[in-house]
Structure 1
Amino acid sequence: MKKASSIVVILLFLCNSLNATEIKISSLKELAKYASESGHTITMAPGVYKLTDILTPEVIRERSARKQYQYINFSGSNNIFNLEGVEIELDTEIRTLLNPPIHSDEFIITGSNNSFFGLTIRCVGKGTSPGGTVLQVAGEANILKEVTLHVAGSFPYGYGDLFGKGKQKETTIKHSKHSGLLVTGNDTKLYKCKIYNRSFGHCFFIQQHPKNVYFEDCYAEGEMRSTDDILAETSGPAFDVNFKTWTQNREGDYVVTPGYMKSLCEDGFRTYGECENITFKNCIAKNTRGGFELRFNKARLENCETIGTERGYWVGDDSVVENCKGDANYGPLLFVEGSRIKVDLIVDSAASDRLVHALVTIQGDDNTIVLKSDNGKKRKTDLPILIGYTHPEHGEAMSPYSEAETSNLNLINETHMPIKIGVQAKSSTIKTNGEIVENKGANIKVSKR
């Protein structure tokens, strides 16, 4: 299947190459020039290029005055950009000096039918972004292959979403986010793209309801920090608000609770709203808040994996999760929130000393869920599968679970993990090799697996 996808990329590459003018460049000034033209094949000499070479303080003042907040706008169409070995060093202080409005993106592709091969963008410096994204793909039918982003430049960094996400009235610390790659254009395809996120913001995310977005062999990585380490601080933003959180813990208090692990970024792969025909294939999320947070959206995942996330997969109506894998080291592996969902998921046997309260929560109707052990290995620590239960508030691991209606569930549990069935679950079939520790449901048919 990988070979077939690679052939498609090559064919698209060749199609875009027809009648294209071949041009060799060796500066960001030239890249910006040809980014606005069409019908070219542009090959850039490998090397590290500093954005400050073209965005000097004088140029920044001029751009700010005319409200030009993008660094480079790839507005041309039918181009091929060969950028293998090219790295753009993005000084985040530029963003601070430009002082753009919220959600202003930095590099943006507004043209269509372009192909980008290679390119690394690396954030340096101590500037911050007011909610912007390093790269947005807004035009139609663009292909990105082996594009890598090293993201930094948010405030505060080091707490994840413990103190809010930005606009919510419950937020206790005002955030300035900086995210990685945003897709808003139809028919966007990403192959072997990677994001290393050291910023509070998303890695890959989709907004404005684009159709036919495809990810293959993409990788998203954040980093984790224990709540114990956060509570040990004796100064800084968290200390200044007495560690007051925006969500309550299981005791009903709004305070950081020891024993948990937090991702310092947001989600690895995220969708907003209903996006038609979204596919993730052979993609990995590591140490992100959510691995694949695709709620309220029909999506298809094949051969994907989550490693050390706060929560692995969060899926909604009509989604398909096929032959995927993940652990529950730092939080639940799966939230099922919707109906007609099909899941085939392998549970990694790894476990940590962090507090985790569930392996899976399931709500909704007509769902088929198959949970398997990794090579037959039982997870080292028991975690319950909760049927007829919701995710915790905002997905926060420290927060309590509620109950919700669940019916016509077909669950096959091959993990040896225990199952707890809530009072709002009904008319379901369960085959399990794990113990039923509680069954308050109605018309639940249980058999040994």
Structure 2
Amino acid sequence: MKKYFYVLITVFIANSLFVKSNASTILISSLKELAEYAVQNNNKIKLKSGVYDLRNYLNSDSIAARVEQKKYQYFNFRGNNNHFDLTGVEIIIDTELRELLNYPIHTSEIMVTGYGNILDGLKITCVGNGLSPGGATFEVAGENNTIKNFTIWVQGSYPYGYGDLFGKGGPDVIRHKKQSGFLITGSYTNVIGCKLYMRSFGHGFFIQKDAGNISFEDCYVEGEVRSTDDILKETRGPAYDVNFRTWTPNRESKYVVTPGYMKSLCEDAFRTYGQNKNIRFKNCTAKYTRGGFELRTNGGVYLENCKVIGVERGFWFGNDAVAKKCKGDAIYGPLLFMEGSNANIEIEVAPNESDRKVHALATIQGENNKITLKAAKEQLQYHSLPILVGYTHPEHGEAMSPYGLGKCSHLFFENGTSLPIIISDQASDCVIWTKGTVEDNGLNNIINNTK
């Protein structure tokens, strides 16, 4: 019986692939037609190149009907085994539509809920400052879908211009209305060659609902940054109205915006929530985001040739993480938070220079981690930025907040830079190779100087 079941499944998959590969391409020229084919199966669709204004498709009558039926998505690709060629297509989304639809919190605007689909080549541009209670511009909820060569400009959140200084969803000093970019809740999703430009407070790519077996390749997320000094110059607006009170304390235990730091205005470029298993990243880049790769899942992640540029915190790993040939700077915040155990991490430290306050190159805790930090060929310019072993990340990862102590044991650490290492009394049985100085307050640690 089991063998017969496997044969049926094999035949079904083969037939589906045969139908998809042999279907003739259907040419369409309107968003109305796109919505119609989005709910069908086994089609090859080519939407005519051009700029499409969503407001020409969603008029007042159709919006009223959607609200009554609680159909809040602009498009829902509910069909299966379709290939949508959207090369050369740009959809303009007036963010005022969010307010007209008045959808509930955590609503995604365009969704893929079917399985086995390929969507290729679409550009989505959000314009205006319409707000929602919080959601994502695009979501893949179905399984076995591939999204290729998308470019999404995300806009419309409140307040924008401060990052997470005043909260990020509760507790808040200022109540936020966030807008994120690309949510994945469906397993076996492939994201290839996609770019997100975050001009709102929210995540870039993020994974929820324990979705797993997800692959990112050649993807890019870019935010914007702003100095705390510039924020403190404001004489009106949300920050001024709350006397620049922050939701986390600074290193002097004061809840106030502190000069000298750089803040990203969005959240994390690549983020996991829950126990996401088998998540892979290849040739991906985060620039000017809060976190570059905040991958705290204990299900294991794999990174190859990934890069962070000018982020508040570069790589943040849970258990069983593997990172090979990765690279990043520490101009606006630490390059690495090693929180989990049994990780194998290799990162090249880029030599970029900054006048912003940064308090550590890395913090390392956990058990049985193998970490290699390589120096770039160019000379480092971080002015003795320390590497902290047996320390935790600051509260909520906030750069202005103090670091804590955390247990670290059986670490194998190769420090190819000349930056100093400080080892707390919570670190034991570690083996360290380094070119720089070491302050060892731990127990049974072996220090090897490689000068």
Structure 2 CA distance for aligned equivalents of residues 42 and 382 of structure 1: 57
Unaligned runs of 5+ in 1: 1-12
Q: Give the C-alpha shift of residue 381 in structure 1.
A: 2.2
Report if the CA contact (8 A) 2:351-2:378 is conserved. no
SS of alignment partner, residue 36 of structure 2: helix
1:85-129 Cα deviation digits (max 9, x unpaired):
000000100001111110000000001101111000000012012
Structure 2 CA distance for aligned equivalents of residues 377 and 114 of structure 1: 47
Aligned length: 435
Structure 2 CA distance for aligned equivalents of residues 156 and 420 of structure 1: 38
1:252 equivalenced with 2:224 (yes/no): no
TM-aligned CA distance change 1:28 to 1:249, over 3 Å: same
Q: Give the C-alpha shift of residue 59 in structure 1.
A: 1.6
Q: Which residue is equivalent to 2:286?
A: 285
Q: Which residue is equivalent to 1:446?
A: 447
Q: Which residue is equivalent to 1:147?
A: 150
Q: Give the C-alpha shift of residue 58 in structure 1.
A: 2.2
Structure 2 CA distance for aligned equivalents of residues 388 and 421 of structure 1: 6
Report if the CA contact (8 A) 1:16-1:114 is conserved. no
Unaligned runs of 5+ in 2: 1-15
Structure 2 CA distance for aligned equivalents of residues 174 and 354 of structure 1: 28
Superposed CA RMSD in Å reads 1.3
Report if the CA contact (8 A) 1:116-1:144 is conserved. yes
* Aligned residue among 319, 329, 332 for 1:330: 332
Q: For structure 1, which segment, 304-313 or 14-23, has the greater mean C-alpha deviation from structure 2 after superposition? A: 14-23
1:397 equivalenced with 2:399 (yes/no): yes
* Aligned residue among 338, 360, 363 for 2:362: 360
Q: Which residue is equivalent to 2:209?
A: 208
* Aligned residue among 45, 57, 61 for 1:58: 61
The amino acid of 2:193's aligned partner reads: K
SS of alignment partner, residue 365 of structure 2: strand
TM-aligned CA distance change 1:127 to 1:405, over 3 Å: same
Report if the CA contact (8 A) 2:276-2:297 is conserved. no
SS of alignment partner, residue 253 of structure 1: coil
Compute the TM-score of the two structures, normalised by the length of structure 2: 0.95
The amino acid of 1:157's aligned partner reads: Y
Q: Give the C-alpha shift of residue 19 in structure 1.
A: 3.5
Report if the CA contact (8 A) 2:145-2:188 is conserved. yes
Q: Which residue is equivalent to 2:179?
A: 178
The amino acid of 1:87's aligned partner reads: E
Q: How does 1:16-95 map to 2 (within 5 A)?
A: 17-95=20-98
Structure 2 CA distance for aligned equivalents of residues 241 and 211 of structure 1: 41
Q: Which residue is equivalent to 2:240?
A: 239
TM-aligned CA distance change 1:15 to 1:278, over 3 Å: farther
Structure 2 CA distance for aligned equivalents of residues 246 and 140 of structure 1: 38
The amino acid of 2:244's aligned partner reads: F
Q: Which residue is equivalent to 1:5?
A: none
The amino acid of 1:410's aligned partner reads: F
The amino acid of 2:201's aligned partner reads: F
Report if the CA contact (8 A) 1:207-1:273 is conserved. yes
Q: Give the C-alpha shift of residue 378 in structure 1.
A: 2.6
Q: Which residue is equivalent to 1:122?
A: 125
1:38-86 Cα deviation digits (max 9, x unpaired):
1110001110001101111222122112211111000001100000000
SS of alignment partner, residue 33 of structure 1: helix
Q: Percent identity?
A: 57
Structure 1 CA distance for aligned equivalents of residues 212 and 404 of structure 2: 33
SS of alignment partner, residue 143 of structure 2: coil
Q: Give the C-alpha shift of residue 15 in structure 1.
A: 6.3
Report if the CA contact (8 A) 2:419-2:437 is conserved. yes
SS of alignment partner, residue 328 of structure 1: coil
Q: Give the C-alpha shift of residue 280 in structure 1.
A: 0.4
Q: Give the C-alpha shift of residue 376 in structure 1.
A: 5.5
* Aligned residue among 109, 113, 117 for 2:116: 113
1:218 equivalenced with 2:219 (yes/no): yes
* Aligned residue among 360, 380, 383 for 1:381: 383
Q: Give the C-alpha shift of residue 358 in structure 1.
A: 0.2
Q: Which residue is equivalent to 1:7?
A: none
Runs of 4+ residues over 3 Å off in structure 1: 13-17
Compute the TM-score of the two structures, normalised by the length of structure 1: 0.95
Structure 2 CA distance for aligned equivalents of residues 369 and 162 of structure 1: 31
The amino acid of 1:418's aligned partner reads: P
The amino acid of 2:328's aligned partner reads: G
Report if the CA contact (8 A) 2:352-2:380 is conserved. no
Q: Which residue is equivalent to 2:412?
A: 410
SS of alignment partner, residue 105 of structure 1: strand
The amino acid of 1:444's aligned partner reads: N
TM-aligned CA distance change 1:16 to 1:93, over 3 Å: farther
